[in-house]
Amino acid sequence: MAPISFTFRTTAVGRARLGTLITRHGSVDTPQFMPVGTQATVKSLTPADLRTAGTQIILANTYHLSLRPGHERIARLGGLHRFMAWDEPILTDSGGFQVFSLAHLGLVDDDGVTFASHLDGSSQRLTPERAVQIQEALGSDIAMAFDQLVDSTLSAAEVAIAMERTHRWAERCLAARTRSDQALFGIVQGGVDAELRRQSIGAIAALPFDGIAIGGLSVGEGKAEMEATLDVVADALGHDPRVRYLMGVGSPLDFFTAVERGIDLFDCVLPTRVARNGQAWTSEGRINLRNARFLDDPAPLDPTCDCEACRNHSRAYLAHLFRAEELLAYRLASVHNVTYTLDLMRRIRGALADGSFASLQDTVSARWKRRDEVR
RNA sequence: GGGCAGGUUGAGCAGGUGGUGAGCUCCGCUGACUGUAGAUCAGCCGUCUUCGACUGUGGGGGUUCGAUUCCCUCCCUGCCCA
């Protein structure tokens, strides 16, 4: 039996799809957003918080968990789901992103990457085989292939080198699998170069992955380039029936852009990271709770939201908590932003179903483009 | 009443024994954040016409080409002695 199954129907909105991804820990309605829980926790949120917010699947990280507490330890303790008390779907990233974000600590060669651990400086080696081994030990529902993403400002030749390496690593990841109950997704690279993207899709989609991820976007390229690249991706994937995951995206407006182009899954640190830094995502746009004007504001973060923060607390209270650096600030803002993001995805699914996608997109765009005017 | 130590930009400090005090940390004000080395980071934080200029070391006076520095006096804070 396949580790996951994905069924979907196309909609009247561009290439957008409505689907259901079924894993052994439950099903996921798509398009869907995965909160990021790098270190086996979505920062500041309990599993109960996540469930209440409507979370169906979360993302955790191979590199971080292998360093601490160690994937063998997690395996001994019953696997990642049990370890973190999240009995619902989990996708693990392969550590490929750390090759990018921690590049100055390591060296990439054709076999893999050698890192100085960011924790203690010890030498660490990550290869496609090891990334698969770690993810199998963690026991996530979906594992990601080990890839190399690169700065979009690099030359096409340099992007191509990393892309071709990613393709070879993809085959090695597939060959390294030993579990039949864990899905493995391939990752398309190629930067913002249309021809390289086509090549990458040709290479990755030809392999027997359970899903196709689009990597290397939202790393500094412009909106127009991301749109154009997603168009190329959609064209090249054609009728490929597998679930499509756009890695590391994104902001509310990005979701519309990508859903229209056939993306089914997203993950992003933004909702939780910006929450900890004082920013709330609301139906009126983004607000910075550290701004002085909220100190006397008795309104909830978002009058249309039903999360714990909005039901019980005022902007003034949150503004106070952030100034006082009280821990509750981070939790309440995170509860809200995750709720907002998952609500938005649900509304997007509803809008795809009833034909109101364009209208919803217009409503959200108006608020998010005019954030300077948001109270 | 006497003695000692102090008084620096919202707070706390550094510096300065005659030759450019706008330097630091808080606080405060804004911005950023996209497969999390991020409850982080960046800018601003005396005034103005802001690539620069001006003002500012408790108040007043004096010496000097020049004073935060030396002198006089007053005020304020802390400690000690009466």
User: Can you tell me the ipTM of this complex?
Assistant: 0.93
Q: How many whole angstroms separate alpha carbon A164 and alpha carbon A144? A: 17
Q: Which nucleotide is nearest to A322 (CA to C1')?
A: B39
Q: How many whole angstroms separate alpha carbon A190 and alpha carbon A113? A: 19
The residue type of A147 is: D
pLDDT digits (tens, 9 = 90+) for A148-197: 999 878 899 999 999 999 999 999 999 999 999 999 999 999 999 999 99
Percent of chain A having pLDDT more than 70? 98
Task: Judge whether residue A270 contacts strand B, using its CB and a 7 Å cut-off.
Answer: yes
- Following DSSP, what letter does each residue of A297-319 receive, concatenated? --S-S-TT--SHHHHH--HHHHH
Q: Is A268 strand, coil or helix?
A: strand
Instruction: Judge whether residue A371 has pLDDT over 50.
Output: no
Q: How many whole angstroms separate alpha carbon A126 and alpha carbon A115? A: 8
Q: Which nucleotide is nearest to A119 (CA to C1')?
A: B37
Q: How many whole angstroms separate alpha carbon A274 and alpha carbon A25? A: 29
DSSP class of residue A155 equals -
Question: How would residue A370 be classed by pLDDT, with cut points 50, 70 and 90?
Answer: low
A39-48, A51-60, A149-158 — which is least confidently predicted? A149-158
Task: Judge whether residue A118 contacts strand B, using its CB and a 7 Å cut-off.
Answer: yes
Whether A267 sits among the annotated catalytic residues: the reply is yes
Catalytic residue (one of A193, A210, A254, A267): A267
Q: How many whole angstroms separate alpha carbon A233 and alpha carbon A121? A: 38
Q: Provide φ and ψ at A74, rounded to 5°.
A: -60, -40
Q: Which nucleotide is nearest to A247 (CA to C1')?
A: B35
pLDDT digits (tens, 9 = 90+) for A196-254: 999 999 999 999 999 999 999 998 888 899 999 999 999 999 999 999 999 999 999 99
Per-residue model confidence (pLDDT) at position A221: 86
